[in-house]
Every structure is written in C-alpha cells, then in structure tokens.
Structure 1
C-alpha cells in the first residue's frame, strides 16, 4: 500500500459524513506505519473501541470505511475464522464489524457485516508477523497467495459496500 497522509485518510471515507471523517482518531503517525507490508490500513479507535476503520486502495482510488464493532457473542463456539485473512482465533478475538453502505442506501440504514480479526491485523497474520493464540489449520498456500486471497476478500467487501441498492 502506498503511504497516505492524515488528510488523504480522512478524505477517503465513503460511508460517513465529512464531519464524522474529520473526527476520526487516526491509528498512528503516518510515517510510523509500515505501508509496504500492508494491504490495508485497519484500526480500532482507542477512544471509542466500538468504532473501527478500513482504508485501502480500490478501483484506482483510496476507499475508507467507517465500521462498528459488535460486542463479543455469548456462544459455545470456541473459535471462529476471519472473513478477510482466514486466520482462526479464539472467539473473543473475532469481531463482527458492520458498516453503513455508501450513498443513499447507507443513509436509509442499510449495512453490511463481516467477521474479522478483532485487531484488524490481517496483513500481519498472513505474513506470519503476528501469531494468533489458537492452532491454525494446515494450509499449503504461499505467503504471496495468502496476501492475494486477503486482497480479493477485502475488495469484494468494499465493492459490496459501494454497490448501489
């Protein structure tokens, strides 16, 4: 991913108002982000943990999504799999993130959701830079193939958010 400035990050949001985008708490100073090892910029708002954000290149532009993180479910399941990077986590480390659709559909209350790594560190998990707390299923894909799969799933999610209804 190419480096982005704070202004570029804030201007990328497609499913919130300009005022809401201006109030987004950014994850770190842009010069501290290892952009070359990220397929997307994803973070939880430290001031409001129920808020999360995804920013990524999509269709020749940069698209940002404002998301809501659901409370952890009370379930008998012990683990679940991230819908983006397919990393298996303990149930407490997987979060349902939902975001308003872009445009009129979102203003009408339509949303989309995806179960994903609660820390949104998918780029690090697919590269083996971060290890989950539960054993992973055996996988024969190379790191490059896992990165390609992650990018494909991210782009499908973004396309669905942008899709007019």
Structure 2
C-alpha cells in the first residue's frame, strides 16, 4: 500500500458524512507506519474504543470506512477467526459492523464481519507480528497467496458496504 496523508484518508470515507470524517481521529504516526507491509490501514479510536476505522485501495481509489464493535458478553467470549486474514490472534477477534454507504446506511442498514481486534491482519499474514500460539493453521500456500486471499476477503466486505 502506498503511504497516505491525513487529508487523503479523511476524503476517502464512504459511509459517513464529510463533517463526521473531519472529526475522525486519524493516527498521528502516519509517517512511521510500515506502508509496504500493509494491505489496509486500520486503527481504533482511543477516545471511543468501540469505534474503528479502515482505509485501503479499492477499485483504484482510496476508500475508508467507519466500523463499530460491541464488547462481547461473557458467554460470547471464545476464540474466533478473522474473516480477512484467517488468524485467531491472542489479541482477539471482534465483530465489526459498518454502516452501508449512501442512502442504505442513512436508513440504518449495516454489514459486519469478524476482524482482528487490533486490525493488524497484514502484519500477521507476513509474520511481522506474533499472533500467539496456535493462532494460524498450518498452510501450504505462500505468503503472497495468503496476502492475495486476504485482499480478496477484504474487497468482498467492502463491496457489501458499497452496495
């Protein structure tokens, strides 16, 4: 992924108003991010831990979405697998819900998927961050094939947000 600026990220949001996008707390360390190793940039809102944001290239444009996650009830806590990178990290997996883009989102329609709670899917796939013991099942495919699969899985979710 090529590096992005604060302005590019804010203008890329598709499922919130321009005013809301201006208020989103974009990470201040954009220059220090490992852009070459990222398929998407994801971060949590430090002021509202139930909010998360994700930006990537989709259909040859920068696209960003607002996500929400609810803390699981005690009976729901179990090890889950991320739908994008197929990892079950020790940091956990959260059901992330995104309002749909356009009129559908304004009417309250949303879509969800399970994502790594820390949104570090790209680093887990590449082995640059330890996901913990037994977090990944043994596979015979290459890292490049895992990356391609994760990108396809993410694009599938983004397509559901854009419908």
TM-score (norm 1): 0.93
Distance in 2 separating the partners of 1:2 and 1:45: 22
Aligned to 1:98: 97
**What is the aligned residue count?**
162
Distance in 1 separating the partners of 2:79 and 2:50: 21
SS in 2 for 1:88: coil
Gaps of 5+ in 1: none
> C-alpha offsets along residues 95-138 of structure 1, whole Å, 9 cap, x if unaligned?
11001000000000000011110000000000011112231321
Aligned to 2:70: 70
Q: How much does 1:77 deviate?
A: 6.0
SS in 2 for 1:44: strand
Aligned to 2:18: 18
Distance in 2 separating the partners of 1:78 and 1:50: 19
> C-alpha offsets along residues 59-97 of structure 1, whole Å, 9 cap, x if unaligned?
01111000001112433663110011000135x611110
Q: RMSD value over aligned CA atoms? A: 1.4
> C-alpha offsets along residues 1-50 of structure 1, whole Å, 9 cap, x if unaligned?
11111000000000001111111111233211111110001011111111
Q: How much does 1:140 deviate?
A: 1.3
Distance in 1 separating the partners of 2:71 and 2:77: 15
Q: How does 1:1-165 map to 2 (within 5 A)?
A: 1-75=1-75, 78-90=78-90, 93-135=92-134, 136-163=136-163
SS in 2 for 1:49: strand
Is this contact kept in 2: 1:88–1:134, CA < 8 A?
no
Gaps of 5+ in 2: none
Distance in 2 separating the partners of 1:33 and 1:58: 20
Task: From the superposition, tell whether residues 143 and 28 of structure 1 become closer, same or farther in structure 2 (CA, over 3 Å).
Answer: farther
SS in 1 for 2:75: coil
Q: Which runs of 4+ in 1 moved over 6 A?
A: none
